[in-house]
Chain A
Amino acid sequence: MTDVLDAPTSPLGKPIKRTEDPRFITGEGRYLDDIKLQSMAHMAILRSPYAHANIRSVDVSAARTMPGVLAVFVGADIPYNPLPMAWPAGGSAGIQNNVNTPRILATDSVKWTGEGVAAVVAETEAQAYDALEAIAVDWEPLPAVVDAEKAIAPGATQLHENAPNNVVFEWNVGDKAGTDAAIDGAEVVVRQRIVNQRLIPNPMETRGDIGWYNPGTDEYTIWMSSQTPHIQRLLVGIFTMGIPEHKLRCISPDVGGAFGTKIFCYADMALTLFASKELGGRPVKWVEGRRENYQSTIHGRDHITYLEIAGTRDGEVTGLRVKTLANLGGRLSTIGPGIPTTLYARVLSGCYKIPNVYAEVTGVYTNTTFVDAYRGAGRPEATYVIERAMDLFAAEIGMDRAELRRRNFIPPDQFPYENPSGLGTASGGAKIYIDSGNYEPAMDKALATVGYKDLAAKKAEARGRGKLLGLGLSTYIEVCGVAPSKWIGAVGEGWGAAMWESSNIKVHLTGKVVITMGTQPQGQGHETTYAQVIADQLGIPMDDVIVQHSDTQGTPFGYGSYGSRTSSVGMTAAIKAAEKIKAKAARYAAHMLEANVEDIEIVGAEYRVKGSPDKKKTFQEIAFALDLAFDAPEGMEPYLDETAYYDTPNCTWPFGTHIAVVEIDEETGVVDLVRYVAVDDVGNKINPMIVDGQLHGGIVQGVGQALWEGAVYSDDGQLLSGSMLDYALPKASRLPTLELDETVTPSPVNPLGVKGVGEAGAIASTAAVSNAVIDALSGLGVRHLDMPYTSQKIWSTIQSAKGGQA
């Protein structure tokens, strides 16, 4: 076996400036709307003003005569299937999914405000929007329902014939009998209804597509702001339009943020391709407006949960029973049902050793925008449930919140750990377990940093200033690096597809390296971190490596970037490709040096004969010789070009403790986040600067949910928080400097020992801030309060608690 020694210098693990940044800081990034193609036409989509209505007729005759209009389409014109739904709720016998997905344009009825009804293609964008106003739809408005509890109540308006009582699915996981017995026999049981409100994800770049049909080759190309160009060949191409993969090329240009929203298959993708074909091959561009984004791109969260947590009076938690209603919108998005089931209920017990866990989840149709994966996707909701539950239980038995957590942590000697809410019992026989963890050191570090032992004095000091100070803990874990195909692809549990990744490495004649992969960045810095990993592997400078991605022509197939999976799954594929490159280079070095391959040792970029330090070839010399191939030995192919595919044996499990400190102004109800301490264990770090940046952004998105954000519908289904003017996003002036620290427990699952960090901040922070606000109000007798904690809500709560008029 060839020995591989450490490279003398390596960029791995260093805070290297990002290689993608020069184009972004100079305005030379190339996002979807920056692309102009020859003869390109523009599309606008007419969207339903009603949340629930039948379409009696659509008259487009006037619109067709408007200046610049090239074509007008209605639902009946589109010959394609409804959009695919790729992740039904499953895993147990007899789970039925009552599936209804959007059509490309609605034909008979609409189920939410914003569902597409007609489309205009014109010479200019302005002409397309002008013509929308000339379309006359004869509507038959119907009663609407926007709340999941009301939607399943008797007498509610019914959205779909195949979904009685508006139920998408009824799903459960865990040991019902055991959990019932544990709760029935417990010394202490705490019950609480909690709401995880609906969020609008808001990547700064909205979505958009340019569809192009080439009549000369009968092939299609789509540029789209997407996290998943490869799987869109399946979702848009074969499943929706009936175009096989080899006839559809998908390209994601620079993507201006995504946070889950750009994983999915949307109707506009097929619509631009259809329109281009109808126009004989003119490219057709559609760019989503922000208000349109609020209605036609997925929302996140929206759970109503009834939790019960049981245990002993001295702080042993023995049971957790949860019933959740998941509002999935008017029709299903691509993996909507998978989020509140597999990615939520299966991790409800968090980092605690709770012997009895049982959850029932009901997916519900309402007259709202569809709900799917938003940063964290199920795990923020699970963390919110368990971390609120732990605080409620601690308050009930009068135990310190940190001590209760410490008492119930999964001990470090019990990994790998199979949790009782069903990860280990996934169908297909695959064992999914929590790979590693050591939770107390992270919590202790965070407690020390924030000065937890002085909390009472801090509260008293704040009280003197007219402020209510509160501190909140969130000791989270999350499941990252999704996922083993045999688990996620098992019939009835996941995508109904695999989740492996791939990478190709080509070494040119000069020794310069091109790496391509199936993952797709949206701001995470993959061009830098892949180069760090591969430069380290091959012992070459980062400048000699270029990273290319996001075009199905020229990159190997991959499932895309989401679920914090790129570093653990995608980069392991890249390492495997590099290992193949090194193995072939070593074989050729042995040939050049007239040695046995077993005697070649690799030191950085040098391939040496053991014991003869002068006998060596550099990586670049080998690449040159193998490219020319004058002297290749019998049976060896020329050129260094290797592809590897990697299916992870398990997920990865980051953890940590986040602590928020808030001060509430008693007079105004304004909540100030005054400190935020985060100790995260994401395993080894490829680039600690990028890791910190991911945590910052994730934390602030979670803070946004706790304090400001929330989608608001009127009872008749109008989205009242329908623009950036009405939906409160985090602003710089409302945030403190975040204080980050770490523990490092390398993941045993992959060779880098990484776990993934894209979602950790958002998973942890909402619960930390929520627990802090409720702690601040606890002196007034407040036990729980649903988010977001707007000043109006807090002021009213304080006034009510004091017996005043709220």
Chain B
Amino acid sequence: MGEHISLTVNGAVRELDVEPRRLLVQAIREDLDLTGTHVGCDTSQCGACTVHVDGKAIKSCTMLAVQADGADVKTIEGMANGDALHPLQTAFWEKHGLQCGFCTPGMIMAAADLLANDADPSDEAIRHAIEGNICRCTGYQNIVIAVRAAAAAMRDGAGAPAGA
């Protein structure tokens, strides 16, 4: 059925046949069984579905799967390297940057995009960078602290795992 696409997801090449209307998030969750990427709304507000496409954070509910043909996609499942957590994952855990955990994967992916471009962001910059990601549990406070802590750890050499 539908269109044939080929994309790299978390380092592995995946071949899929998808309906033209299939969203990238549906392909990730339903066809590839990577359920760490969540759907929290239907209007591209909440950011729970944030993944990286060709190195940039995007909301995967806002992109058709066919548009990702040939792209390099990274999801939350691709952030750790074996048992070595990404510094953002470590920081979210240590700083209590999550409660129910539903927004967390998208929040981490959005923050990773920020840190790729700004190694030492101010709190204001962090709060601006996660503007498109809604969390209803934490009041954002410990998320901001976690992103700041991850930035510090990465500057101190706790580099992202290979490929992150």
* Minimum distance in angstroms from A480 CB to a CB of chain B: 18
| Beyond A290-B41, A737-B141, A738-B141, 10 extra complex contacts between A and B, CB < 8 Å | A21-B101, A25-B85, A27-B35, A126-B19, A204-B103, A204-B136, A689-B96, A697-B99, A729-B136, A737-B144
Q: Which of B63-71, B126-134, B152-160 forms contacts with chain A? A: B126-134
Collect the chain A residues with CB atoms within 8 Å of residue B100's CB: 203-205, 254-257, 522-523
Other-chain contact of B101, A24, A733, A737 (Cβ < 8 Å): A24
A730-776 residues with Cβ-Cβ distance < 8 A to B are 730-733, 735, 737-738, 761
* Minimum distance in angstroms from A390 CB to a CB of chain B: 26
Collect the chain A residues with CB atoms within 8 Å of residue B99's CB: 257, 523-525, 693-694, 697
* Minimum distance in angstroms from B122 CB to a CB of chain A: 12
Query: Quick check: is A259 within 8 A (CB to CB) of the other chain?
Result: yes
Query: Quick check: is A791 within 8 A (CB to CB) of the other chain?
Result: no
Collect the chain B residues with CB atoms within 8 Å of residue A698's CB: 139
Collect the chain A residues with CB atoms within 8 Å of residue B38's CB: 31, 33, 204-205, 256
Query: Quick check: is B142 within 8 A (CB to CB) of the other chain?
Result: yes
Collect the chain B residues with CB atoms within 8 Å of residue A203's CB: 100, 102, 136
5 CB-based A-B contacts, threshold 8 Å: A24-B104, A204-B38, A290-B46, A732-B135, A735-B140
Query: Quick check: is A572 within 8 A (CB to CB) of the other chain?
Result: no
Collect the chain A residues with CB atoms within 8 Å of residue B140's CB: 696, 700, 730, 732, 735
A724:B46 contact, CB within 8 angstroms: yes
Contacts A31-B38, A700-B140 given; does A25 touch B89 at CB 8 Å = yes
Query: Quick check: is A483 within 8 A (CB to CB) of the other chain?
Result: no
A202:B127 contact, CB within 8 angstroms: no
Query: Quick check: is A26 within 8 A (CB to CB) of the other chain?
Result: yes
Collect the chain B residues with CB atoms within 8 Å of residue A457's CB: none
B39:A27 contact, CB within 8 angstroms: no
* Minimum distance in angstroms from B50 CB to a CB of chain A: 12
B102:A25 contact, CB within 8 angstroms: no
Collect the chain B residues with CB atoms within 8 Å of residue A696's CB: 138-142
Q: How far is the CA of A26 from the CA of B37 in the complex (A)?
A: 10
Q: 4 closest pairs, A vs B, by CB?
A: A27-B36, A24-B101, A256-B102, A523-B100
Query: Quick check: is A191 within 8 A (CB to CB) of the other chain?
Result: no
B49-102 residues with Cβ-Cβ distance < 8 A to A are 75-77, 79-80, 85, 89, 92-94, 96, 98-102
A204:B37 contact, CB within 8 angstroms: no
Collect the chain A residues with CB atoms within 8 Å of residue B92's CB: 21, 25
A1-46 residues with Cβ-Cβ distance < 8 A to B are 17-18, 20-31, 33-34, 36
* Minimum distance in angstroms from B112 CB to a CB of chain A: 12
Collect the chain B residues with CB atoms within 8 Å of residue A291's CB: 42-43
A735:B127 contact, CB within 8 angstroms: yes
Query: Quick check: is B5 within 8 A (CB to CB) of the other chain?
Result: no
A27:B134 contact, CB within 8 angstroms: no
B79:A26 contact, CB within 8 angstroms: yes
* Minimum distance in angstroms from B132 CB to a CB of chain A: 9
Query: Quick check: is A468 within 8 A (CB to CB) of the other chain?
Result: no
A725:B131 contact, CB within 8 angstroms: no
Collect the chain A residues with CB atoms within 8 Å of residue B139's CB: 696-701, 730, 735, 738, 761
Summed over the interface, the residue pairs from A and B with CB atoms below 8 Å come to a total of: 175
In the complex, residue of chain B having the shortest beta-carbon distance to the beta carbon of A694: B99
B102:A27 contact, CB within 8 angstroms: no
In the complex, residue of chain A having the shortest beta-carbon distance to the beta carbon of B36: A27
Collect the chain B residues with CB atoms within 8 Å of residue A24's CB: 98, 101, 104
Q: How far is the CA of A732 from the CA of B106 in the complex (A)?
A: 14
Q: How far is the CA of A523 from the CA of B139 in the complex (A)?
A: 13
Collect the chain A residues with CB atoms within 8 Å of residue B76's CB: 25-27
In the complex, residue of chain B having the shortest beta-carbon distance to the beta carbon of A723: B43
Query: Quick check: is A189 within 8 A (CB to CB) of the other chain?
Result: no
* Minimum distance in angstroms from B146 CB to a CB of chain A: 10
In the complex, residue of chain A having the shortest beta-carbon distance to the beta carbon of B34: A27
* Minimum distance in angstroms from A616 CB to a CB of chain B: 37
In the complex, residue of chain B having the shortest beta-carbon distance to the beta carbon of A523: B100
Residues of A within 8 A of B (CB): 17-18, 20-31, 33-34, 36, 126, 202-206, 254-257, 259, 289-291, 522-525, 689-690, 692-694, 696-701, 723-725, 729-733, 735, 737-738, 761
* Minimum distance in angstroms from A131 CB to a CB of chain B: 15
Query: Quick check: is B151 within 8 A (CB to CB) of the other chain?
Result: no
Q: How far is the CA of A119 from the CA of B30 in the complex (A)?
A: 22
Query: Quick check: is B164 within 8 A (CB to CB) of the other chain?
Result: no
A254:B127 contact, CB within 8 angstroms: no
B79:A290 contact, CB within 8 angstroms: no
Collect the chain A residues with CB atoms within 8 Å of residue B40's CB: 204-206, 256, 290
Q: How far is the CA of A257 from the CA of B126 in the complex (A)?
A: 23
In the complex, residue of chain A having the shortest beta-carbon distance to the beta carbon of B101: A24
* Minimum distance in angstroms from B123 CB to a CB of chain A: 7
* Minimum distance in angstroms from B152 CB to a CB of chain A: 17
B1-52 residues with Cβ-Cβ distance < 8 A to A are 19, 21, 29, 33-43, 45-46, 48
Query: Quick check: is B149 within 8 A (CB to CB) of the other chain?
Result: no
Collect the chain A residues with CB atoms within 8 Å of residue B137's CB: 204, 257, 523, 693, 697
Contacts A25-B93, A725-B43 given; does A254 touch B35 at CB 8 Å = no
Collect the chain B residues with CB atoms within 8 Å of residue A289's CB: 42
In the complex, residue of chain A having the shortest beta-carbon distance to the beta carbon of B132: A731
B96:A18 contact, CB within 8 angstroms: yes
Q: How far is the CA of A698 from the CA of B142 in the complex (A)?
A: 13
A733:B103 contact, CB within 8 angstroms: no
Q: How far is the CA of A245 from the CA of B3 in the complex (A)?
A: 47
Q: How far is the CA of A177 from the CA of B82 in the complex (A)?
A: 72
Contacts A203-B136, A697-B136 given; does A27 touch B37 at CB 8 Å = yes
B101:A523 contact, CB within 8 angstroms: yes
Collect the chain A residues with CB atoms within 8 Å of residue B141's CB: 696, 735, 737-738
B136:A731 contact, CB within 8 angstroms: no
Collect the chain A residues with CB atoms within 8 Å of residue B108's CB: 25
B89:A724 contact, CB within 8 angstroms: no
Other-chain contact of B105, A27, A30, A524, A697 (Cβ < 8 Å): A27
B94:A733 contact, CB within 8 angstroms: no
Q: How far is the CA of A34 from the CA of B39 in the complex (A)?
A: 10
Contacts A27-B35, A29-B36, A205-B40 given; does A724 touch B136 at CB 8 Å = no
* Minimum distance in angstroms from B131 CB to a CB of chain A: 5
Q: How far is the CA of A692 from the CA of B138 in the complex (A)?
A: 9
A204:B35 contact, CB within 8 angstroms: no
Collect the chain A residues with CB atoms within 8 Å of residue B142's CB: 692-693, 696
A204:B93 contact, CB within 8 angstroms: no
A202:B136 contact, CB within 8 angstroms: yes
Q: How far is the CA of A731 from the CA of B45 in the complex (A)?
A: 11
Q: How far is the CA of A725 from the CA of B124 in the complex (A)?
A: 23
Q: How far is the CA of A731 from the CA of B139 in the complex (A)?
A: 8
Collect the chain B residues with CB atoms within 8 Å of residue A523's CB: 99-101, 137
B138:A724 contact, CB within 8 angstroms: no
B143:A732 contact, CB within 8 angstroms: yes
A725:B45 contact, CB within 8 angstroms: yes
In the complex, residue of chain B having the shortest beta-carbon distance to the beta carbon of A36: B33
Q: How far is the CA of A36 from the CA of B136 in the complex (A)?
A: 26
Collect the chain B residues with CB atoms within 8 Å of residue A254's CB: 100-101
In the complex, residue of chain A having the shortest beta-carbon distance to the beta carbon of B129: A732
Q: How far is the CA of A443 from the CA of B137 in the complex (A)?
A: 26
* Minimum distance in angstroms from A15 CB to a CB of chain B: 8
Contacts A26-B80, A738-B141 given; does A724 touch B45 at CB 8 Å = yes
Q: How far is the CA of A203 from the CA of B137 in the complex (A)?
A: 8
Q: How far is the CA of A699 from the CA of B140 in the complex (A)?
A: 11
Q: How far is the CA of A27 from the CA of B101 in the complex (A)?
A: 9
Pick the most buried of A255, A290, A522: most chain B CB atoms within 10 A of its CB: A290
Contacts A18-B96, A689-B96 given; does A733 touch B75 at CB 8 Å = no
* Minimum distance in angstroms from A100 CB to a CB of chain B: 30
* Minimum distance in angstroms from B80 CB to a CB of chain A: 6
B77:A290 contact, CB within 8 angstroms: no
Other-chain contact of B36, A26, A257, A701 (Cβ < 8 Å): A26
Q: How far is the CA of A259 from the CA of B85 in the complex (A)?
A: 30
In the complex, residue of chain B having the shortest beta-carbon distance to the beta carbon of A695: B139
A697:B138 contact, CB within 8 angstroms: yes
* Minimum distance in angstroms from B110 CB to a CB of chain A: 10
In the complex, residue of chain A having the shortest beta-carbon distance to the beta carbon of B93: A21
